[in-house]
Amino acid sequence: MYLILEKLTQRFGDKIVVESVTIDVQQGQLVTLLGPSGCGKTTLLKMIGGFLKPVAGRIVLDGVDITNLPPEQRSVATVFQNYALFPHMTVLENVMYGLRYKPGYSKKITKELAKKMLELVHLQDLYAQNVTRISGGQQQRVALARALILSPKVLLLDEPLSNLDAKLRIKIRQEIKDIQNKLGMTMLFVTHDQEEALSLSDRIVVMNRGKVEQIGTPQDIYSNPQNEFVANFVGRANLIQTTTGTTFIRPENLIPVETGGDYQGVIVQKQYMGSYTIYYIDTKKMILQMDVQNLEDNDWNLGQVLQLKVE
């Protein structure tokens, strides 16, 4: 394994915020840490970046134990949520900054490399602009180029898209994925957005209250959530109590049928979502959610009784 986090633990005062977290990351993979606010994602990144010393556990990168190395001695770069750019510098100067004291990088070489990085993030035409004069999406691309120029063994991204509007978020996340594929770079991406995690990741680590709940491919996590927390946090789920425990049905796996349904109930609410509609169906025991594509004839009214089959 390329990056190994072994039983990493962090505590602030009496409060344990990361508890014995073990994660393996393969070289060239993009792994997301997904979880609600406060679950310890940023704290975990800070330990990997060297900004916080773990109270227990080990971090091994490419065969070297980096647990106690200072940030500048680990081959790890971070892209922050707030970009952290230098406002008095141009786009190009910001990207060049990271290599300013690195042996072997003359100003000329650094400039050439920085221009290459700006091409990679599609900003080559803006290199002379002051960073305060460009949009939020462009600033985030500068932050990315500034981290990439260091050619780190691992790139950490801490909610890098959360300050952008929905459309731009989707565009830039695709660009990050493209760059990751192109460079074969190992990335650890923090997000609380399940759609972002599902669409970007080779593997997802679902975290809750400082602990790992499940690790798997997006398909694994969505189709086989191992507990109630994961089923609810990643996608929506109907939780069904059975004699042996709790199971779940995804809303898109319920379909209306004329007869022989597994459930029957009254439509008590419906939400139009564009390409599909969410129906809320009261079976008297619970309220089930059913997603139906908005095609012709797929329309039912409040108060109507429906039979539902599990697909």
Ligand X SMILES: Nc1ncnc2c1ncn2[C@@H]1O[C@H](COP(=O)(O)OP(=O)(O)OP(=O)(O)O)[C@@H](O)[C@H]1O
Positions touching ligand X (CB under 6 A) are: 12, 17, 35, 37-43, 192
Residues constituting the chain: 311
Decide whether 40 or 98 has the Cβ nearer to ligand X: 40
Decide whether 173 or 192 has the Cβ nearer to ligand X: 192
As measured in angstroms, the least distance from the Cβ of 155 to ligand X is 17
How far apart CA 90 and CA 128 sit, in angstroms, is: 6
As measured in angstroms, the least distance from the Cβ of 44 to ligand X is 7
Decide whether 43 or 140 has the Cβ nearer to ligand X: 43
Q: Which two tokens stand for residue 141?
A: 């691309």
In 113-202, the DSSP E strands lie at 154-158, 186-191
As measured in angstroms, the least distance from the Cβ of 111 to ligand X is 35
As measured in angstroms, the least distance from the Cβ of 65 to ligand X is 23
Decide whether 17 or 278 has the Cβ nearer to ligand X: 17
| Residue 248 C-alpha from the chain's centroid | 23
How far apart CA 185 and CA 153 sit, in angstroms, is: 7
The number of beta carbons lying within 10 Å of the beta carbon of residue 60 is 16
Helix 136-148 / helix 107-120 crossing angle, nearest 10 deg: 130
Decide whether 43 or 94 has the Cβ nearer to ligand X: 43
Beta bridge partners of 280: 269, 289
As measured in angstroms, the least distance from the Cβ of 217 to ligand X is 22
